[in-house]
Structure 1
Amino acid sequence: MLRIALFLGTNIAIVALLGITFSLLGIDGLLAQNGVDLDLQALLVYSLVIGFTGSFISLAMSKFLAKKTMGVYVIDSPRNQTERWLLQTVERQARQVGIGMPEVGIFDSAAPNAFATGMNRNSALVAVSTGLMQQMTDDEVEAVLAHEVSHVANGDMITMALMQGVVNTFVVFLSRVIGHIVDRAVFKVERGHGPAFWIVSMVAEIILGFLAMMLVMGFSRYREFRADAGAAQLVGKHKMIAALQRLQNSHESPKMPDEMAALAINAGRIHALFASHPPLEKRIEVLRDMRI
């Protein structure tokens, strides 16, 4: 969830900033062909620029932001046996899946958690929390690391960036079309764009973005199953199941960390549509049914 939250938060901020900048520069005004009809070709190019720029800048900044936001200590030279074991384990797994050695780090958090991020599969970051190291056995930590390494090997961050770029493009495109229609049909603006175009476009962009988030989160849940399967291939499904069961126990404790909220097993349907991870019980069930 951590890598998803950082990526999406950065993406939304950049898209909003680009939209405001383009509006101030008057580029939005060029979308009205001859001042009357909406130039759909120009609008599509405009939407593509905003959509994919926000997504790929987010991807490029993902590793830097993760380090700074989470306070990740990157292990360059192991200070103890635990750090040495982490490096050796990730190195072995990276070699097995055929990717470059990721940076390995630790961040201070009582919640058992881990994430992988980075712009490409040969220059990634895999980080685990202190809580995960304290609460899990070596086999369980090994399985979590394999899960994150599988995310990297699957190119999940790049795929997420491409999908988010497409989603951004359609949200920007459709919101401007809706704004244009309302401006012409309801407020009877005949040339250029009136205030209604900007207001309706912004409102439509928020609503469409909210709905589009369901598609992005749906893909995020799908890739968690793929990473679980990859981890099962690397270390054995019994280790991955044990790690998920440990997370399940942590989740069911009275004081659940906020960053574990997306793993909610008893989440309502609406919450489930926006969850970045499938329910833990479902992930365990799928792993048990796998034939390895």
Structure 2
Amino acid sequence: MGKRIFYFLLTNILVLLTISIIFSIFNVNYIKGDTIQLGSLLIFSAIIGFTGAFISLAISRWMAKRMMGVKVINPDGPMSSYERDVVEKVHRLSRAAGLTYMPEVGIYHSPEVNAFATGPSKKRSLVAVSSGLLEEMDDNAIEGVIAHEVAHVANGDMVTMTLLQGVVNTFVVFLARIAAFAVSRFAKEELAPLVHFIAIIVFQIAFSILGSLVVSAYSRYREFHADKGGADLAGKDKMRHALISLKDYTNRIRGGNEQTAISTLKINGKGKSMLFSSHPDLDERIRRLT
């Protein structure tokens, strides 16, 4: 389920970096003499920051399909029995959530137990589940997971996350350029422009990673709301059963193939890894639904 945030963050960093490099090449000026015009830099940073976030949002559904190999199911075309079952669940729960436009429904081939929802708006959303989820979980658990993802769409979480990402991006760009300017002051005059350009890229990547801590923390907060929304849509018993099933699956693969267990870090995390996790600890999520 953390893939929704993972790919959004990855896309955002790449888009933000690309836009910043383009602006740097065209030498957009916020430096006069030996001083930085902080007001101009802040406006410049906000333009880049929010542009990067909204471009990431706009292409989020397309990126998810391409990177995950999602097969979108045509609800009006021929379907297998399990495809029809997934579409029926998504549409039924979407109507219960008050959505007037049904999300696209997709399945992607992966042994991991996972699902995600993404898209630039409620009208253009995607709910996708892995083949591993359909194979490993029973019907009630699958419905609980899908209800959780539909709740993300109904709550408008991707748009909210984009606004937060835009603010974080603004500070990333702003602070990266101040730090790069300070570093370039220690370089020889003829090398200063090159040092400044390289330092911008390095600091922007570093600050973007730190900024992802803020986005991940907010994502964990929104997961509790999606759990509650999923419980309202599918029933508390099914939502709780889905989380317990995820926990059982996580414990099972951690006791087996550790490489396969890497995927569960997107669902559950403890200790230091929790800082970068987009999802809260499963035990806490289960406790809050009790």
TM-score, normalising length from structure 1? Answer: 0.90
2:59 is paired with a residue of what secondary structure? helix
Q: CA deviation at 1:149?
A: 0.3
CA distance in 1, matches of 2:81, 2:206: 50
Q: CA deviation at 1:264?
A: 3.7
**1:280 counterpart residue number:** 282
**1:135 counterpart residue number:** 136
Q: CA deviation at 1:21?
A: 1.3
**1:258 counterpart residue number:** 262
Change (3 A) 1:82 1:187: closer
CA distance in 1, matches of 2:68, 2:184: 44
Q: CA deviation at 1:167?
A: 0.4
Is the Cα contact below 8 Å between 2:72 and 2:105 reproduced in 1? yes
Q: CA deviation at 1:135?
A: 1.2
**1:235 counterpart residue number:** 234
Q: 1:25-78: per-residue Cα shift (whole Å, max 9, x none)?
A: 112xx1113x23212222112111211111111111111111111111111124
TM-score, normalising length from structure 2? Answer: 0.90
CA distance in 2, matches of 1:63, 1:199: 32
Q: CA deviation at 1:196?
A: 4.1
Q: CA deviation at 1:268?
A: 2.4
Percent identity, aligned pairs only, is 45
Is the Cα contact below 8 Å between 2:50 and 2:166 reproduced in 1? yes
**1:92 counterpart residue number:** 92
Q: Does 1:224 align with 2:234?
A: no
Over the residues paired in the alignment, what is the CA RMSD in angstroms? 2.0
Is the Cα contact below 8 Å between 1:2 and 1:259 reproduced in 2? no
Which of 258, 265, 271 aligns to 1:268? It is 271
**AA aligned opposite 1:207:** A
Is the Cα contact below 8 Å between 2:13 and 2:208 reproduced in 1? no
Which of 49, 52, 67 aligns to 1:51? It is 49
Q: CA deviation at 1:195?
A: 4.1
How do 1:1-292 and structure 2 match up within 5 A? 1-27=2-28, 30-33=29-32, 35-76=33-74, 77-99=77-99, 100-184=101-185, 186=186, 194-252=193-251, 253=253, 254-255=256-257, 256-265=260-269, 267-269=270-272, 271-288=273-290
Is the Cα contact below 8 Å between 1:47 and 1:173 reproduced in 2? yes
Gaps of at least 5 residues in structure 2 are none
Number of residues paired by the alignment? 281
**AA aligned opposite 2:96:** Q
Moved more, 208-217 or 148-157: 208-217
CA distance in 2, matches of 1:283, 1:46: 40
1:278 is paired with a residue of what secondary structure? coil
Q: 1:164-203: per-residue Cα shift (whole Å, max 9, x none)?
A: 111011011012122334444x5597xxx64443344333
Is the Cα contact below 8 Å between 1:110 and 1:131 reproduced in 2? yes
Is the Cα contact below 8 Å between 1:156 and 1:223 reproduced in 2? yes
CA distance in 2, matches of 1:69, 1:203: 26
**AA aligned opposite 2:120:** M
